[in-house]
Structure 1
Amino acid sequence: MQKKILEVRTPIVSAYPDLAHLFSILVDNKKCEKWIYNYFIQMEIYNTLYEETPRLDFYKPFLWESCPFIQQQIIEKVFLNRLDISVINFIEKSICDNEYILIDIDHFEVKDSCFYKNKHVIHKVLIYGYDKEQKKLYIGDYFENYKYGFKEMNYRDFLKAYVSCEQYIAKDIESSIRKYGIRIIKTEFDNDYIFDWKFLKNSFIAYIQGTNLNKYYKIANIANRDNWSNGIKTYNILKKYIEDLCKLEKSDYYPFRTFQVLYEHKKLMYSRVIFLTNEKYITKEECVYDFEKIKVEAEKIRNLFLIYYLKPKKEYLIKVRKNLEILQNNEGKAIKKLCENLNRYSKNIDMLK
């Protein structure tokens, strides 16, 4: 086949690559939204700063393995060499078989990247199509202004980035100990997902309590999470970071993506509440407005921090700290109200059994 492009869509969450890549290929909205809204409620943040900044993220253990709509396998790049298969031929064959590819390349050689010829950054890109005649691939990743999107990349530039990735890993001790495999992904939308409202309610309760969900996932090997904060408690780490930042003359690191994740979490929560309303889990008038307001508040915080990054005046940090406090209080109240609605729903379900 001379050309083939698999379907992708703009992901609802894109601050970090794992969710951005996955949500890009979950194109069956009606089926996938049930799973997405059932999970991705809990948040986590490491209590110790990473590169002098906090790193807020969704709590998502075994993300790819737990998704009910994909089949995947991971192979090491060395197997392509052993079988004497070029990476381009491998990608073409995989796309022909309706398989997406996640593979590491060096953004130093990616013309559309903000790191082009500036910094070696090893990153997994999503490959979802190719054109033999034009000799180009279709990829998803972070490009201009480090925003997630979809671009075309010619075979020559891709091979340079692929080879540079291997050379850079070999030189960098810290990077070389990481596992750089090729992830092959196939989507399957034949089966319906059964919404687990009990897990949903437990997730909301865990969020309010600031506890992780390991016992629900039955995850033994990551049970020791003492140095992490979850749910509503993540705000305390963010507020402490802003307070410490106010004491500094300047910082070399600004965690804009942390505040983007904060906003995307509230945006997803708002969409989730609309979904729960449409599915008759809750009544619209009681919760939708609360979470719409929370989403707007989180967007305001993100924008204020961006303004501070562009114009580092402490008055913006003071506003961020104040608004984080307001957001924490409002979200706690809104989720408690939502849990009360779900409790009433669960009692109605029990009566029907």
Structure 2
Amino acid sequence: MKKIIVLMLIISVFMVGCSSSKDNSNQNANETEGSNVQSENNTPSVVFVVTGQLGDKSFNDSAANGIKMIEEKLGFETKIIEIGRDQTKWEPTFMDLSEEGKYDIIITNGSNAKEVVQSVATEFPDQKYILFDTEIEKGLNENVYSISYKQNEGSYLAGVLAALVTTSDMEYANEEKIIGFIGGSEHPIISDFLVGYIEGAQSVVPDIKVMVSYIGSWDDTAKGKETALAQFAQGVDITFPAAEQAGLGCVEAAVEMGKYIVGVDSDQAMLFKGVDEDKANVILTSVLKEVGNSLVRAMELDQKGELPWGEFESLGVAEGGAGIAINEYYEKNVPAEIATKVAEEKERVEAGGVDITSALGLPAEEVDVIVNAVKP
């Protein structure tokens, strides 16, 4: 009987031990799983909400490339959502993302979204937002950081180049040289491009004329082509379309007519390299707004605790936020003496030695004075 009792006690202890071991094993497994989840949650994350479309080979694509660099270079979890230009969809999207709370930082583009984002940011003070290509009132939202770009500085250099390259007066026996500018629509940022472009051109050819046209769209490539063809037919041999995706139609027109284009936002010639060499060769340079690089810079500063939340920064040539593209097509198609002059002007701009008007905050009537002074 005693033997049976002892045996039962041994079996009982053994079973309890196994049960305890199994429980500990499960507990360790849960801890490991929880640790993995926590590790995933600790991975910084951003979502880029595109208030427009990708595929423009300029502004939005530059930003998307920056998001890709943030993932590859910095190890962030990233996502891109395209919500188009229908502004009725914007606020619900930002509200949903903010309520979800999945992403540390919500990034979006353009000044048109500023009021929506700042309103949502007020309701979700713990969510962080980055607006680029616009300025915010400092201190209004401590959870919002914005980046603006001195596109007038890059455009100034493009104007210098265009004025030196054009042969319009010789081709058409005009008394004055004429270059072109094509905007997607009238907008303060587009005016900033235009004013810088005009002043750069005037710095080397004081009596130059600038034909200004507006497509009335940011994505209608057919209308963009039609607008550029009209300028070329009137004597323009180089034009600068600041029109996002619609500007790609202007590139098509330049190929057909054997004229030149100044690209915008991204290094557009290099985007066509190996894909469509005819298009790459008509893009002498591009006015760069280094959107992608500025977003990477912002994430690096935030990781160091140095990003100035609640404020905005304006990045120009000196800060690496603006400039023009110097690539193999530029080196091949731009005469050396002109390239030298442009490089000298770039050094002056970088050093703060050139006073370039900004249209941002400038009354519309003052912008009109600048533009009307160079009308053909």
TM-score, structure 1 length as denominator? 0.24
Between structure 1 and structure 2, the one with the greater Rg is 2
